[in-house]
Copies of this chain bind each other. A is one copy, B any other.
């Protein structure tokens, strides 16, 4: 039997079988306009994938990540049921397997080539995502504008509180002391830099290459009377100069790319030497895998979440740095994304006015897909605390992270004001 000898419905069935294999026989129903469908035999389907035409079906089989993403964005594919559950089912089914066909792997590699994180490349990449429009991000981020994983003491905590708790958790992991000098690489809209200064009395230099974010950060610093303690610098992490007690970076490492880890390592060492300490908060992987090609093509150009074993040898071993603490917060990122997605869905009319209907679908898939990635475990979120070989501020235990520190924080605030 060849493709040519098939009647239309047999061809559809053949292609559905093929697609089912491509998505690891995930327990989802797949439906075509012809009425042909494939349904899992032994499991309740997590939901239904509707594909609007045969050409789309063929393209998805050939390059599933990019073509499904684009088809969904353009309305040529649809998900019926809980989007996160459907996508998580696919991610789980694919989790034990090597990545895709030769064609998909080749496209992925080519994308990597064209998206190198040079000084210029990084600026382009960051501009494309983070400079979309602060008004857009305001629609669905928390009021402090934190666009990184929050920390939920329990799942019922609000996003606003969980973002504050995340910032405080990082400060406590770093055991920030009043008067210390902190450098932050990749500071977003500046909330964390300002939090450290306000609540822990430290002086911060915060780097970012997103113009729009920095303008917002500087305005906030001024409004809150913190412009003297926090300096926002529009420059690449590779151009960080000066000496500091602490290096911190929340949500930047996944944009750096393994090829730039030696440069980042030298920046860290030149900043904090052998006696300082630092924390990296980043999206990572269980094993070396390129991030979804669609996400890299349409959302985060140049993104490259590493495994722990990819980042440790380049970043820490040459300077004999110690890894003190690694915490995996992937369920917290799933929860954070759930909040963002709910807020986003309540603002889709406004988003459509700003960027059009396709943009709404693109971001819906990106947010749901990211949530599914953290739910299924294809993505991890690591907070990694490290110290130079001569660091004297090694915490004795981690118990201090779990004490209620509100009164102490109030005092720190006061101390800073008096300094």
Binding site for B on A (CB under 8 A): 92, 95-96, 151-155, 286-288, 307-309, 312-313, 316-318, 320-328, 330-331, 377, 380, 382, 389-390, 394, 396-399, 401-402
Contacts and interface: CB of A to CB of B under 8 A. Distances in A.
Given A96-B389, A313-B309, A389-B95, A323 B328 contact: yes
Given A309-B308, A309-B309, A286 B320 contact: yes
A317 B286 contact: yes
A321 to B, nearest CB: 7
Contact of A328 (B307, B324, B327, B390): B324
Nearest to A399: B402
B326 A325 contact: yes
A96 B324 contact: no
11 contacts: A95-B320, A152-B397, A154-B396, A155-B396, A287-B316, A287-B317, A288-B317, A307-B312, A309-B312, A309-B313, A323-B380
A391 to B, nearest CB: 9
Nearest to A326: B326
A324 B377 CA distance: 11
Nearest to A96: B320
A309 to B, nearest CB: 4
Nearest to A400: B402
A396 B330 CA distance: 9
B286 A322 contact: yes
B316 A286 contact: yes
A394 B322 contact: no
A170 to B, nearest CB: 14
B317 A309 contact: yes
Contacts of A399: 153, 402
Contacts of A324: 328
Contacts of A402: 398-399, 401-402
A308 B320 CA distance: 13
Contacts of A96: 320, 389
A328 B322 contact: yes
Contacts of A92: 389-390
Contacts of A317: 286-288, 307, 309
Shortest beta-carbon contacts, A-B, top 9: A326-B326, A287-B317, A309-B312, A402-B402, A309-B309, A309-B313, A399-B402, A324-B328, A286-B320
Nearest to A316: B286
A389 B135 CA distance: 38
Nearest to A314: B309
A365 to B, nearest CB: 23
